[in-house]
Structure 1
């Protein structure tokens, strides 16, 4: 699906801009300061970063990093980390079914899926404090000093889980000079944003700062069934700070913040052929209705006949959603905490201590089938949420030795995270009839299909007729169909998962100045991670146990293949996702402990005063854990065997730690108003943690490669069997690689013009022969498209660029603002299973802002637009839950293994525009 013309355009755009341009992503030196007379680093107009635990100029740090300053954030209108995509080409941030679990990717690597048991490969730190999941960074950020995006594993100083990189956000500190800012923004969709801050001294050595933001906006989707908007905004944020500086050598900074959101999120629409040509006729109803065609997409008929509007399957990028009346996407999020940072110069040794305690709680209802037919839902409830209680402590000592030849740093880190997940996912009121119709509409039973009749079977069809069509025991089959037909509003009453995680580490990071121009950086970190899991299930789905009791003998002993397939379908649909009353009141527990060594080695050479060259190796790590989804325990075909039987299966919830070895060559050139950075990189991931929704359940697998022969043949990892394609343990190696080149540049051709650009080529791929864990177990059949292909949401080519022009207007001190930025992205597949129906063609996004600013920028009025050309695209496409044709042979179309699946998509934001007024003094 790759468009070569668009790829060439992207490449030329990125490479050309990277050789011309400029931004606030690299060193900036004032025009009247020559290199020869440049004052000390802290006094020059440069971006200072703390990537290596020390204050350093960005151009002097031998690490791939993008630093975005406050002015760039103002010009771009960035309010949360999603909008950093426009100025950081190797970064992609997206949100899907829940903003609580938004995903960040760097160089194509990230953690996907809405599963709180998986930690992010790209963690977010705010003011040095680790946030439990990257989705927490989707909140409002308040007044920001800078954001650092570090690329590649940060397993030495970056702390836990940063196997792909990290995002560090630094808010503006209190100041000892009085100041205040205010902002009023109004835009389409009745967007209203009010923001303000005030800072100043309380005493001679205590300063304070308070930031506040209120946001309200209509939703981007319309739900006609419930006459409401979805994906709206209704939130506020407040942060207070105290800065205490009793002496020149001691600084204490206290921060407290609170965020509240009361919003409806996140709706989805169906994918059709105009969005993705690989859909073909999949979403078109077959005719005639009866008898159904074995070559048609009979699931469309089932959905239509039970009330789904067919227009929903052909609306392209329309934003009218299909929802069952009474179902809601309403949710509530609270995020708050306190932190304290101490910086103390002890005379040759600098002490830094960061202590924090945070709580995060998010609940979200959903019409989980994303359609009109009432199949699956979560009701908004105080008893259904995910909650993190997190305590972290970091301590660092940094100083010099041997006459300044060694810049050393040692430290320790401790965290305790208590995670609670409570769930109430239930089958909808039409699920039983829908499930029966799925079975009846497939294969040889299609002639019996009657969706408005009991059991979805035509009137007058008795047990003997049904038995004759299936070769099964008539009485038991009819009883099972009858039980399944009555499966309505049953399922989870209150599943509770409690995970207590403790992580501690010791680390050292040392820079050896071999000569005045040659440095060797050596760092190492030892990490201990321990997690304890306790879970208790609540479930009232007695239909599952009833159908199992009726048909287990047919499933296991019947000589008739059709009878066995039908029994498997009836049991599977009755117990979908391990929803069974047999688990009601059952508790399980488990624990896991792991120890890992990570580190880095960097050789850097200052070839000239303006040119830095470096080569580096880094080893990164992301902790293993538990899949907090009971569907991972086992197949729903057979009973669990009560408390003891369920406990015996608990090991199936575990997944192993993700490890990465990364190699990089880089160069940074910075002189006066021009700078350019380049890096070549390659990273190899073992036990890559992949979370995939297969249309029924969430699968979590550790993806590895096989260097030998797969058992079952070279294509046994791409067939439709989950039992073929194993690998000898000694032949298991890394399963994912990302390699490529990055360019970032800036130029200031005139005092009032600034140009910036970035270009990333990243080949982020799975190896050709894949297995599902470190022991060489076969890859799950749902992942059969992965071998040899790119990862999801991993574009090979991304180019970004921005131009800022701030001309003087007359002699009154007024100035103008003209700003535009763009991001061009090559083709991607947005689904973690890489089904072609989830592909997204390459596209370009542009934002713009024009305005007038008063003398010394004391006030401004700006007109702005985001996605100004109103580009439609999907963030993620996925298998519509349960909306596939029959899943057991011979009730399955061989053209579509696994059934004819319907696909849905989470759309990106449309064009928005408005006006912003600001003042500061």
Structure 2
């Protein structure tokens, strides 16, 4: 196992090393030693990911501080950093935390929800990163780099088996095609049965199949030019996102509405790792893309980089109504996304007095979604509407957003003295968004009374927003001062401003009453201050990095839930403050042993949010207010305390065999489960322990490796995210239970 911080331990087979090796990162769009970059970051090597079996986006929060991944399914997934960015299911809005794959910005977090295999390195950059990265990001960036083609023949074959029907196979092959051209291909297929039992028919849900292929070519005729082409395709057919009942909500005048209406429709409620669903629960995801990155070394050591990319993403769900009776046959939102991006960068040679990076960026995205609800014969009883209003009615809506984003950027560093550097960055982004939101007239249903007809139109009536437009200019700024106190110690301070454009609600929500402009939300603006130190001590055997931060966000973009229409909607949630302390450390005390620990204390809450949705215990009361004041409340999904640690010990036997032991511990404290901060939707804190042991040795021209692993060793029951449900209930997605498995691999 390799460290989760900025220095990597020796590669497999070199356990005799007693020092940590430097890690190179691209945080400032040029290759640099991570310990010399004045930015708060954490780095995971590909070897660390493999050793800890962190192969999904939602696993990363077990290894990185200040990180939360709210995951229900690939569409309803979000990445938040320092408590900022919890916006699942927001088709009409980019995330506050950006995800980049091989220097390509991913317009949807779901584009990264596939098995993350053959990864070279992951960098988590915390705080606004808009001056150098393609899209403005107010919370931070997850930068993923995959392994490149090699001019030396190499490959690997890996097979894993585990409980709950878990089977994962992967293979990688790379080598030269001629003196100047190398290729690489990576393939994988994963399957698991799931771990939630459907009491209705005995099936197991929460699992399914994922598979994909990734091909690359690297053309390198000389040391001054390289051209890298990447093409990939991934698909998923699963029941991911199956929600279990977390809480039935409050008692109002001695009555629990959720239980009362469940009894009225004849539903039987279950909780824990059980559901009771009479309809299908499934998702299908198809996605892929291609990119072309060219790097030229120009005269005087200038570096010119061009990155062209196109990606597509197709998500189709089939969701039950969470009951074992026919309230709804199917409900959900499908999404179709295409994006194209082009980036040009020029990096100056590293100089004695001044060096810089400047460039231009273009991003185009076409997003379409379909909102559908197929009501059953019990819909009115469940929803409390006039009989006949919704029974057997079909409601279908469509939304689209066409985005064009243009940006220019520059960042330079003045070397004021041999010990003191000053960096200044600026970016200007202009964006145009054009959108439409429509809903068809309700279909089906029986002729009804005037009251029921009015209720039908209110919930599912025809609507057309017409053409909606948004135009915005978003500046980003960075000023950073770094002091090389010694060769082993770097101190830094920075001020940053980041902005991201507004978004569009692609569901009708309250637009028929409030008007089409209510579908639009405004920009999000963040000001950030950082103070940090990076140290490499004990002859490069100990690394300790720490930083303080204070971020204030205006017009914070959030995803809320309207109890009346039972729909999620985007909104500007006022002003948010995030402040805290982060720590990263790695220690190699003796030969073969590496210890890592990281953690964060993060206090993130609304300074002002006086038009928030009310929690169920308020919203279900007679005469309940239209909104509540959440000023002073904690932001959804943000644990105040996070601590992660891992240890790896490997040694050599006389016959050339190499045994090893790995262990990790990840703990996070309580978090608010839903935006309304209901006391019935509070995520308890939890701790996870993962263990593994293995043996490797040489065989022919390669190395074999067999390991036994145990994830969630103490079988902790925990929820990764919570969700509002009708009639005051709250549901959630359960984390993976204890899973025992083994992996065999051969690298050559």
TM-score, normalization by structure 2: 0.92
Pairing partner for 1:490 from 382, 386, 393: 393
Q: CA deviation at 1:23?
A: 2.5
Q: Secondary structure at the residue paired with 1:412?
A: strand
- Which residue of 1 is the match for residue 602 of structure 2? 762
For residues 298 and 393 of structure 1, the distance between their equivalents in structure 2, rounded to whole angstroms, comes to 52
Kept in 2: contact 1:499–1:534 (CA 8 A): yes
**How big is each residue's C-alpha offset from its partner over 1:533-558, in whole Å with a ceiling of 9 and x where there is no partner?**
123322325879966xx35xxxxxxx
Number of aligned residues: 726
For residues 507 and 418 of structure 1, the distance between their equivalents in structure 2, rounded to whole angstroms, comes to 24
Give the 3 Å change call, closer, same or farther, for CA 678–260 of structure 1 in structure 2.
same
- Which residue of 1 is the match for residue 616 of structure 2? none
Give the 3 Å change call, closer, same or farther, for CA 298–94 of structure 1 in structure 2.
closer
Give the 3 Å change call, closer, same or farther, for CA 597–796 of structure 1 in structure 2.
same
Q: Secondary structure at the residue paired with 1:197?
A: strand
Instruction: Give yes or no for the alignment of 1:796 onto 2:640.
Output: yes
For residues 108 and 557 of structure 2, the distance between their equivalents in structure 1, rounded to whole angstroms, comes to 15
Kept in 2: contact 1:543–1:574 (CA 8 A): no
Q: 1:128-527, aligned counterparts within 5 Å?
A: 128-272=103-247, 282=251, 294-310=253-269, 312=270, 315=271, 317=272, 319-324=273-278, 327-348=279-300, 349-367=302-320, 369-378=321-330, 385-400=334-349, 404-435=352-383, 438=384, 481-484=386-389, 487-493=390-396, 495-527=397-429
- Which residue of 1 is the match for residue 28 of structure 2? 52
Pairing partner for 1:658 from 524, 540, 552: 524
Q: CA deviation at 1:218?
A: 0.4
Q: CA deviation at 1:191?
A: 0.7
Q: Secondary structure at the residue paired with 2:75?
A: helix
- Which residue of 1 is the match for residue 716 of structure 2? 871
Q: Secondary structure at the residue paired with 2:312?
A: strand
**How big is each residue's C-alpha offset from its partner over 1:66-99, in whole Å with a ceiling of 9 and x where there is no partner?**
1111121111111122211121021111212x32
Kept in 2: contact 1:224–1:320 (CA 8 A): yes
Kept in 2: contact 1:785–1:835 (CA 8 A): no
**How big is each residue's C-alpha offset from its partner over 1:806-849, in whole Å with a ceiling of 9 and x where there is no partner?**
122x2111111211111111111111111111112221111111
- Which residue of 1 is the match for residue 5 of structure 2? 25
Kept in 2: contact 1:759–1:800 (CA 8 A): yes
Q: CA deviation at 1:879?
A: 2.6
Instruction: Give yes or no for the alignment of 1:861 onto 2:723.
Output: no
- Greater share of residues in strand: 2
Q: CA RMSD in A?
A: 2.6
Kept in 2: contact 1:28–1:46 (CA 8 A): yes
Q: Secondary structure at the residue paired with 1:787?
A: coil
For residues 57 and 263 of structure 2, the distance between their equivalents in structure 1, rounded to whole angstroms, comes to 40
Kept in 2: contact 1:531–1:591 (CA 8 A): yes
Q: 1:693-732, aligned counterparts within 5 Å?
A: 693-695=561-563, 696-704=566-574
**How big is each residue's C-alpha offset from its partner over 1:373-396, in whole Å with a ceiling of 9 and x where there is no partner?**
33335369xxx6211110001110
Pairing partner for 1:123 from 74, 88, 98: 98
Pairing partner for 2:649 from 787, 791, 805: 805
Kept in 1: contact 2:545–2:583 (CA 8 A): yes
Instruction: Give yes or no for the alignment of 1:920 onto 2:744.
Output: no
- Which residue of 1 is the match for residue 76 of structure 2? 101
Q: CA deviation at 1:345?
A: 0.2
For residues 377 and 345 of structure 1, the distance between their equivalents in structure 2, rounded to whole angstroms, comes to 59
Which has the greater radius of gyration?
A: 1
Q: 1:626-645, aligned counterparts within 5 Å?
A: 626-635=504-513
Kept in 1: contact 2:159–2:744 (CA 8 A): yes
Kept in 2: contact 1:113–1:693 (CA 8 A): no
Pairing partner for 1:669 from 535, 539, 546: 535
Instruction: Give yes or no for the alignment of 1:743 onto 2:583.
Output: yes
Unmatched 5+ residue regions in structure 2?
Answer: 12-17, 614-618
Q: CA deviation at 1:664?
A: 0.3
Kept in 1: contact 2:90–2:570 (CA 8 A): no
Q: CA deviation at 1:434?
A: 3.0
Q: CA deviation at 1:227?
A: 4.4
Q: Secondary structure at the residue paired with 2:97?
A: coil
Kept in 1: contact 2:403–2:432 (CA 8 A): yes
- Greater share of residues in helix: 1
Instruction: Give yes or no for the alignment of 1:692 onto 2:560.
Output: yes
Kept in 1: contact 2:128–2:497 (CA 8 A): yes
Question: Which piece of structure 1 moves more, 226-235 or 655-664?
Answer: 226-235
Q: CA deviation at 1:786?
A: 2.1
Give the 3 Å change call, closer, same or farther, for CA 515–836 of structure 1 in structure 2.
same
Q: CA deviation at 1:880?
A: 1.7
For residues 244 and 22 of structure 1, the distance between their equivalents in structure 2, rounded to whole angstroms, comes to 31
Q: CA deviation at 1:30?
A: 6.9
Q: Secondary structure at the residue paired with 2:51?
A: helix
Give the 3 Å change call, closer, same or farther, for CA 587–92 of structure 1 in structure 2.
closer
Kept in 1: contact 2:465–2:516 (CA 8 A): no
Give the 3 Å change call, closer, same or farther, for CA 295–428 of structure 1 in structure 2.
same
For residues 628 and 446 of structure 2, the distance between their equivalents in structure 1, rounded to whole angstroms, comes to 29
Unmatched 5+ residue regions in structure 1?
Answer: 1-20, 32-37, 274-278, 283-292, 440-480, 552-569, 636-647, 705-734, 774-778, 885-900
TM-score, normalization by structure 1: 0.75
**How big is each residue's C-alpha offset from its partner over 1:597-646, in whole Å with a ceiling of 9 and x where there is no partner?**
111010000000100000001111222111111114145xxxxxxxxxxx
Kept in 2: contact 1:101–1:116 (CA 8 A): no
Q: CA deviation at 1:337?
A: 0.6
Kept in 2: contact 1:155–1:618 (CA 8 A): no
